[in-house]
């Protein structure tokens, strides 16, 4: 029974190239769905079967993500905006999957969320706020961070949110920023705490 949805980008030149790669057993990678830039949805693996899309990582204490998640590949090179037809198709698909498997919105995550320091997809151009607004992903909080940011407190909040992969402070900060503050750089600051819900855990 799938309990999570993991979003990826293909980082390839086209949906057809990604489709060929995902369907070739030589590459040992697969996903349940692929969505093209034009909004075409390709069903590649039955939802009740394991696909090889997540790899090493963890979310909310779950380490075997391949066995417990549905992987959705998005036709995107990692640098470009996600076209409207693709996003609309994704929203419809995610909504259907959430209902079909009784998955809560907070279990819709990015590959970068569960594999900090190793993966960055769906990347800095992905519009998480759009999914949050439609209750298709856990909404970010709008709290105020501490005057003196502390790495230990940030880690505790991130872990409570779901970031349970065993990574160093830099990789954890990068993963949280990819989700909530993709253009932020530099050391940990108060604003990094706000989306995680400081004072709510």
Residues designated catalytic: 73
Q: Report H helices in the chain.
A: 15-22, 65-68, 84-101, 111-114, 128-133, 151-161, 169-180
DSSP string, 68-105: HEEEEEE---SSSPPPHHHHHHHHHHHHHHHHHHT--G
Question: Cα–Cα distance between 89 and 102 in angstroms, integer?
Answer: 20
Q: Which residues are CB-contacts of 46 (< 8 A; sequence separation ≥ 6)? A: 32
Give the torsion sign (CA, 165, 171, 175, 176): positive
How far is C-alpha 41 from the chain's CA centre? 18
What separation in angstroms does the CA of 133 have from each of 82, 140, 141?
A: 17, 10, 12
């Amino acid at each position: 029974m799938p309990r999570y949805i993991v979003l990826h980008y293909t980082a390839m030149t086209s949906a057809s190239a990604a489709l060929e790669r995902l369907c070739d057993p030589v590459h040992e990678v697969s996903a349940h769905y692929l969505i093209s830039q034009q909004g075409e949805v390709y069903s590649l693996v039955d939802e009740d079967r394991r696909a090889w899309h997540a790899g090493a990582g963890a979310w909310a204490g779950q380490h075997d993500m391949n066995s417990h998640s549905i992987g959705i590949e998005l036709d995107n090179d990692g640098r470009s905006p996600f076209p409207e037809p693709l996003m609309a198709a994704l929203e419809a698909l995610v909504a259907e999957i959430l209902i079909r498997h009784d998955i809560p919105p907070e279990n819709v995550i990015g590959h970068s969320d569960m594999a900090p320091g190793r993966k960055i997809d769906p990347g800095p151009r992905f519009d998480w706020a759009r999914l949050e607004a439609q209750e298709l992903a856990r909404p970010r909080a709008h709290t105020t961070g501490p005057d003196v940011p502390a790495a230990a407190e940030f880690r505790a909040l991130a872990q409570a949110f779901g970031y349970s992969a065993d990574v160093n402070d830099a990789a954890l900060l990068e993963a949280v920023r990819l989700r909530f503050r993709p253009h932020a750089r530099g050391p940990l600051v108060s604003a990094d705490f706000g989306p995680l819900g400081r004072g709510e855990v």
